[in-house]
Every structure is written in C-alpha cells, then in structure tokens.
A = this chain, B = another copy of it.
Amino acid sequence: MTDFTATRRAFHLPAGITYLDGNSLGPMPVAARDRVAAMMADEWSEMLITGWNKAGWYVQPRRVGDRIARLIGVGPGEVVMGDTLSIKVFQAVSAALALRPGRRVILSDNGNFPSDLYVAEGLARAVGAELRVVAPEEVGAAITPDLAVLMLTEVDYRTGRRHDMAALTALAHRAGALTVWDLAHSAGAVDVDLAGADADFAVGCTYKYLNGGPGAPAFIWTHPRHAEAAQPILQGWMGHEAPFAFDLGYRPAGGVERMRVGTPPVIALTALDAALDVWDDVELADLRARSIALTEAFIKGVEAACPDVTLNSPRDPQRRGSQVSFRHPQGYAVMQALIAEGVIGDFRAPDVLRFGFAPLYNDLDDVGRAVETLARVLRDGLWNDEKFHDKAAVT
C-alpha cells in the first residue's frame, strides 16, 4: 500500500492554504531546493565542463525519462526529456505524419489544450497538411480512412473528461492512422497505460502532477515499433547519432534519443529528478483509487452544499481524470473570492471553476475545507465584491 501521509510530507505546502491547483503547477518537493543547490555547488561550480560526463548531464534526459516511463506504462529507454510540451507535440505529430506518407489529415478535438492545436496548425500550414477539429464526443466517428494522425489530450484541461485511449487508438489503427497522446493532465494523475492501449507516440509536461517546477521540461515517448523509423522535423545535435563527431549531415540517434533537440536544461532536470523521488514508492493503482475517492467526495460535497454551481465534469469516475470542474455564471469572481479565502483552484473562461486533486499531497481534509469554503463564498455572496471582478488585476 502506498503511504500517502509520507508523500504529502515530502512537499512544502504553505500554511493556511488549501491547494487544489496542482494540475496547473505542482508544489515544491522539499528535497528539490537542496538538490538544485547541491548540483550548482558540486557539479556546475566544481566540475565545470566535465560535469557533462562526470555528473551524467548528457544522459540525464534519458535517465529521468526512465523514471517517468513507469508512471505512463512503458519500458525503460523509451522516454526522453527536454524542451516544452508544445515542442514535443510538434516533434511527435511531425514524426507520425512522416510515417503515413500520402495521408495529410491530423484530427483533434476542441477540448484539446489550445497550444496543441496551435502547434498542429503551424505544422499543417508548413507541410501542407490539414488539421480537423471536432467535438470530443465526435472523435470516434471522425476517424476516417484518410486520417494520418489522431492527436488528443487524454484528460480535458477544463472538464477533466478522460478519453478512452485504448478504444480510440484501436479505431485509429483500424483506419491506418497513428496516435499522439498528450498526457499533460494524466501523468501522475491517473493510471496511464500507453503500452496496454497500444499507442504510438505520447508527450507530456512535468510541472503539473509531477511537480517539477514552473516551466519544467517535457517528455516524449515513442513506441519501440516506430523508434527507429521516426523522423521528426526538429533535428538537433543532441538527437544525432554522434553529436561530438560534428558531422555536417544529420544521422538520427537510435531509438527515442533522436527526439532530443538541443542542449538539455540541467538545472531544471535536477529539480524534476528530485521531484520524481517522491514517486518511488507509489503504486499507480493506489494513486488512481485515491484520486477517485477525492474527486467523488468533492463532487458529492459541492452538490450537497452549493446549489448555484453545475458539474462540468463526467459523473462517472472512470471517464474522469483527477480534476473536477463546476460552472457558475460569475465563475471568475467566485474563484477570486475563494482564493482570497485560502482555497486555490483556478478559473478557465468563460465560467469554469477548476479544482485539481493530486493524490500525492491532497487529502480528504482538503476536500472538506474546499467544500465548506466554496459553500460559504456562494451562500454569503463573498464573490459579489468589486475587487473580485477586475480581470485586469489578475490573469
């Protein structure tokens, strides 16, 4: 059994705050600060350039990737770190597209995170492909035989709706297409099983449920059956077979390493590496069970105490990630008032109150406080204060 009391203690959680926004930025693992300070003092300062070998900076993107592999249901050597999620979406979709010559259609849905759509739009314009965007519930029916790539975010960033990764991947494969799964709201939040779903590519960020810090590096996974054939558009020296041969021509490195681009962000990867220590004794089945218990309790509590809000997430926990959202016509002001009362969730236009539940450090006490505070904010009309309506003051 995973000891979630121990995992909660591993984080710095500010006093007096109930933090339900770990799906946007996870809190700092206590060990991260010392680890980064030590890296700077013992490695950068003392080893200087020799740190690339002596301290293992070169292999860090692969070594840290191996730690994430377990959390997304794939094997060691299949995941590599670097860049940002948007860049990794570009890498994965461009590589998938190149593996389906003659096909030009990328399909996504309007519940996808907008940056993924922007990236696909830019790629499509550059290479003469077409981006089709449908409603999340229409994705299955929109998988047609001309499809090259199905690009989806597994868990919707606003509603928490979880796509059926295995079923949609099977449909895509039947149509001859490949899949790219964005795990931004999945990795560290639900029991991701890429191998079980037979997915093709996956990408994700590490500053949400993986707690790597603001702007922490992204990850990318390539199924081994594509790893030696994938040819992404972004080809940088760290993805070269022999970076230090300084050849004038590009030769891709073996496997997922070719998805690397530039020099890895060592300081940021060090913070992330420390954050991943917390996961060492966590079982994904326990994580998922706890996530469901927390979100179920929150929905039940809010629906009993807050008649003015409407559930904006699937009621069936199997169709939901680790977040819950509600709608309120004055959602923006309600969230500002809630934050002023010490419960931090976030607002997503036009009227969504979003609450993330991170099983590693959120518990039923957090749920209770959040329910009680939201009920009070609504019942007493605390949001009806001018200062909570000024959108220019807060982004």
Give A contacts to B, CB under 8 Å. Answer: 12, 14, 17, 19, 21, 24-25, 27-28, 32-33, 36-37, 40-41, 44-46, 48-53, 57-58, 82-87, 90, 94, 110, 113-115, 117-119, 121-123, 125-127, 133, 205, 207, 213-218, 232-238, 240, 244-250, 261-269, 271, 344, 346, 348-349, 394-395
Contact = CB atoms under 8 A, between A and B. Distances in A.
Nearest to A215: B265
Pick from A12, A118, A217, A268 the residue with the most CB of B within 10 Å: A118
Contact of A395 (B27, B52, B216): B52
Nearest to A245: B349
A100 B192 CA distance: 45
A255 B262 CA distance: 25
Contact of A268 (B57, B126, B240, B265): B265
Contacts of A19: 48
A234 B86 contact: yes
Given A214-B57, A395-B58, A234 B28 contact: no
Nearest to A110: B248
Contacts of A41: 33
25 contacts: A14-B45, A14-B48, A21-B48, A21-B49, A25-B48, A27-B48, A36-B40, A50-B344, A52-B395, A58-B395, A84-B265, A86-B238, A87-B234, A113-B237, A114-B247, A115-B236, A117-B248, A117-B250, A118-B250, A122-B235, A122-B250, A213-B267, A215-B262, A215-B269, A265-B265
A356 to B, nearest CB: 10
Contacts of A84: 82-83, 236, 261-263, 265
A264 B83 CA distance: 10
Contacts of A119: 234-236
Contacts of A24: 49
Contacts of A33: 37, 40-41, 45
Contacts of A250: 117-118, 121-122
Given A87-B261, A121-B249, 4 more contacts: A14-B45, A52-B214, A122-B234, A126-B126
Nearest to A36: B36
Given A21-B49, A115-B236, A266 B215 contact: yes
A176 to B, nearest CB: 22
A145 B262 CA distance: 32
